[in-house]
Structure 1
Amino acid sequence: MAEKLNILFLCTGNSCRSQMAEGWARHLKSDLMNVYSAGIETHGLNPSAVKVMAEAGVDISGQTSQNISEFSDISLDIVVTVCGHAHETCPLFPTGAKVVHVGFDDPPKMALDVDGAEEKLNCYRTVRDEIRAFVETLPGSVTD
C-alpha cells in the first residue's frame, strides 16, 4: 500500500473552514491521508462550526486552532488554502509541498448578512456541505 499523503488545510485563523476540512478529511479519508489544519494566525475554534459538523456526525470539538509555524517539522505533500487571504499570504514550504487553492465563502461573514440564529447556522451548513463535496474528491483532485 502506498504511503499516506500529508495534507494540510490552511486558512487565516484556523477557526472554521480549515477546521471543517480537517474534520471531513479525517472522517472520510483517513485511510489515504494524514490530515492537519492551521492558520496564518490562530483565532480559536468557532463554536458554530463545531455545531454544524456535529449535526453531520463529525466531532471536531477536540481539534485546536494551530499556527502554520507549528508544522515546520512535518513533511507536507499538499497544502490546500481554503480562503483568499491564506492563499495570498501562504508561506513557502521547505519540503516542496504542492499548494492548491480551493476557496470557500467565510461563514461568519456570510452570517452577518442574515437575521435569526437558524439562518446564521445555515451559512455554516452551506459551507460545511461544500467542503465535504470537495474532500470527497481527495486526494485525486489535488494530486493530478
Structure 2
Amino acid sequence: MSQSDPNHKLKLFTESLNDSEIKSSRIERLNSIAESLSSVYRQDDTLNLNFICTHNSRRSQLAQVWMHNFSRLFHLNIHSYSSGTEITQVHPNILSVLEESGFEVEKSRETNNNPRYKLNFSETKGSILLFSKSIDDQSLPKKFVAISTCSQADENCPFIPQASMRFSLTYDDPGKYDGSDREIEAYRLTNKQIATELKYLTHKLISDE
C-alpha cells in the first residue's frame, strides 16, 4: 500500500493498536461482553449495537465509529449506532482525533446547534453520519444491544425498552480537560483506548464464532 493511499494512515493507526495495553480488569469485562454478544450473533447472524452516553458528543461517538470500522474490517454483520439521554452536538475534538487517526470527515455546512458530519471509511466500508441523537431517535433500529460508555448514562437511563441486552463499558470523560493544556492529549488517549478495546472485542467475536 503506497504512502499516497488515503487509507494508509488509518491502516497504520489500527495496526499500532496493541492488546497488551488493555488492563486485565478491562480484558475480563470485554471477554464477558464478547461471550454474551457471540451467543446472540450465532443465533441471529447479525447485531445492532447502540453505544450510549449522556450527551452523545464524545465517547459514544468514538465507539460507534470504531465498532463500524472493525466490524467491516473483520467482515462481521454488526451495525453500530450511538445515542444519548440528551441531545447536544459532536464535540470538535472528536472530529479532530478521528481525522488524526486517518478518517475523512466532511464537515457539515449546517449552522444549527447539532450539525451532521459525514465520516468516510473507504469505498468498501462506506460512510456514516455523526450527529448527537436521543435514544428514541428515528434513525436507530427498533431493537438493539445497549452499551453504556459513561456512568452517567447508566444512572440517568435505568431502563431502555428497545434494548434486548445491556452492558456497561465506561470510559473517563476527556471533556473534563477542556480548556486545559492537556485537552487534546486527553481526547487522543480516549480515542486510542476505545479503538484498542473495540478491536480486541471484535477479535473475540470472531474467535468465539
Q: Deviations over 1:92-118 (max 9, x none)?
A: 233552111111111111335x32xxx
Query: Aligned AA for 2:178?
Result: A
Secondary structure at 2:201's aligned position in 1? coil
Conservation of the 8 A alpha-carbon contact between 2:146 and 2:163: no
TM-score by length of structure 1 reads 0.83
Shift of 1:136: 1.2
Conservation of the 8 A alpha-carbon contact between 1:24 and 1:58: no
Choose from 24, 49, 68 the match for 1:26.
68
Shift of 1:90: 2.2
Change (3 A) 1:73 1:28: closer
Aligned to 1:79: 146
Choose from 35, 48, 56 the match for 1:14.
56
Q: Distance in 2 between matches of 1:28 and 1:7?
A: 13
Choose from 195, 198, 202 the match for 1:135.
198
Secondary structure at 1:132's aligned position in 2? helix
Could you tell me which runs of 5 or more consecutive residues in structure 1 were left unpaired when the two chains were aligned: none
Could you tell me which runs of 5 or more consecutive residues in structure 2 were left unpaired when the two chains were aligned: 1-41, 106-116, 119-129
Q: Deviations over 1:12-48 (max 9, x none)?
A: 1111100011111111113321100001001101010
Secondary structure at 2:68's aligned position in 1? helix
Shift of 1:88: 1.3
Q: Distance in 2 between matches of 1:58 and 1:138?
A: 21
Query: Aligned AA for 1:21?
Result: A
Q: Distance in 2 between matches of 1:59 and 1:38?
A: 22
Percent sequence identity is 28
Query: Aligned AA for 1:137?
Result: Y
Shift of 1:91: 4.5
Q: Distance in 2 between matches of 1:95 and 1:9?
A: 13
Secondary structure at 1:34's aligned position in 2? strand
Shift of 1:59: 4.2
Point out 4+ residue stretches in structure 1 off by more than 4 angstroms. Answer: none
Aligned to 1:56: 101
Conservation of the 8 A alpha-carbon contact between 2:97 and 2:191: yes
Secondary structure at 1:44's aligned position in 2? coil
Once superposed, what is the RMSD of the aligned Cα atoms? 2.3
Shift of 1:138: 2.7
Q: Distance in 1 between matches of 2:167 and 2:103?
A: 24
Q: After the TM superposition, which of the residue ranges 87-96 and 38-47 deviates more from structure 2?
A: 87-96
